[in-house]
Amino acid sequence: MMKKYTCIIVDDDEIDRLTVLSFAKKFPILDILGVFDSAEDALPFIEEKKVDILFLDIDMPDLNGIEFRKQALEIPVCVFITAHPEHAVESFQIETLDFIVKPLKLDRFTQTVNRIEEFMEIKLKASLFEASIGGDTIYIKEGHDQTKVKLHEILYLEALKDYTLIITDKKRHCVLSSIGNLLKEDHFQSFIRIHRSYAVQKQFIQKMNSTEIILNNNVTIPVGRSYKENLNLI
């Protein structure tokens, strides 16, 4: 049986709203509960209904998409669809899974749906990690198995609300622990937090400036404004 995820669409522009709706209807995993032309109308709805995914515009009168998201952080997935790319950095500080710049195209929306599905599967399977006694190894529970991960092979950590992705060259693992709690563990003292959602290992940094860091595998990670001082530790 296919897993379905409930979603709502909030956009004050009718054409854009209908475009998102028509694209969303093409994906059976998306269960569209409501379509709203203002964030104010959507707020009481999400208080009554369980919503898994928000498709949000940002530039809306009165309550904009950023402020709406701040009041709906209990919803696991937020996707901003906006004509204002300058809001991208701010949006990722409030647990945004994806950020799409209008005009919306089907192939780009398809990428987002694939990412949502992957995120939800990881979230479902994630569980606590166990650190080994003495050494630089952690064991990550994945189903009934335990995967051994060497700490020196971890490129970076990425926050996903109450979960954290542990990224290596070979695989992405997910653990049921916030990035803040992980970084308090002795095993993760070599990591430097450079963004609300990211922490990196110093030895994998290839280039850096005040806005981003490039790792050895050419992955680019943003530097959050409130974490710039941490660059002095690198």
pLDDT (tens digit, 9 = 90+) per residue, 23-69? Answer: 999 999 999 999 999 999 999 999 899 999 999 999 999 899 999 99
Q: Is 138 in the same domain as 78? A: no
Residue ending a domain, choose from 124, 147, 163: 124
CATH number at residue 65: 3.40.50.2300
Asked whether the CA dihedral 125, 126, 131, 136 is positive or negative, the reply is: positive
Q: Which two tokens stand for residue 72?
A: 């709906």
Number of structural domains the chain divides into: 2
Q: Is 80 in the same domain as 138? A: no
Q: What are the residues whose beta carbons fall under 8 Å from the beta carbon of 75, sequence distance 6 or more?
A: 46, 51, 52, 53, 54
Largest CA-CA distance found in the chain, in angstroms, rounded: 59
Q: Is 145 in the same domain as 97? A: no
Residue ending a domain, choose from 91, 124, 157: 124
Torsion angle of the four alpha carbons 24, 26, 31, 32, in this order, in degrees rounded to the nearest 10:
40
E strands, 17-128, in order: 30-36, 53-56, 77-82, 98-101
Q: Is 214 in the same domain as 134? A: yes
The structure's pTM equals 0.57
Q: Is 180 in the same domain as 160? A: yes
Using 50, 70 and 90 to split pLDDT, how confident is the model at 231? confident
Using 50, 70 and 90 to split pLDDT, how confident is the model at 233? low
For the purposes of burial, counting CB atoms within 10 Å of the CB of 45, is it exposed (0-12), middle (13-18) or buried (19 or more)? middle
pLDDT tens for 75-100 read: 999 999 999 888 787 877 788 999 99
Residue ending a domain, choose from 59, 89, 124: 124
Q: What are the residues whose beta carbons fall under 8 Å from the beta carbon of 114, sequence distance 6 or more?
A: none
How many CB atoms lie under 10 A from the CB of residue 210?
8
Q: Is 145 in the same domain as 90? A: no
Q: Is 75 in the same domain as 145? A: no
- Residue 128 pLDDT exceeds 60: no
Torsion angle of the four alpha carbons 153, 99, 63, 160, in this order, in degrees rounded to the nearest 10:
-20
- Residue 131 pLDDT exceeds 80: no
What is the average pLDDT value for the chain, to the nearest integer? Answer: 88
Q: Is 75 in the same domain as 182? A: no
Using 50, 70 and 90 to split pLDDT, how confident is the model at 234? low
| Tokens 């490129």 belong to residue | 155
Q: Is 119 in the same domain as 181? A: no
Angle of helix 14-24 relative to helix 106-125, nearest 10 degrees, comes to 60
Q: Is 49 in the same domain as 160? A: no
CATH number at residue 152: 2.40.50.1020
Produce one character per residue of 183-196: b if its CB has 16 or more CB atoms within 10 Å, e if not: beeebbeebbbbbb
Using 50, 70 and 90 to split pLDDT, how confident is the model at 133? very low
**Contact (CB, 8 A) for 157 and 198:** yes
- Give the residue numbers spanning the domain of 222: 126-233
Q: Is 142 in the same domain as 36? A: no
Q: Is 90 in the same domain as 165? A: no
What pLDDT is recorded for position 221?
Answer: 92
Q: Which two tokens stand for residue 212?
A: 């981003």
- Residue 140 pLDDT exceeds 70: yes
DSSP H/E element including 108: helix 106-125
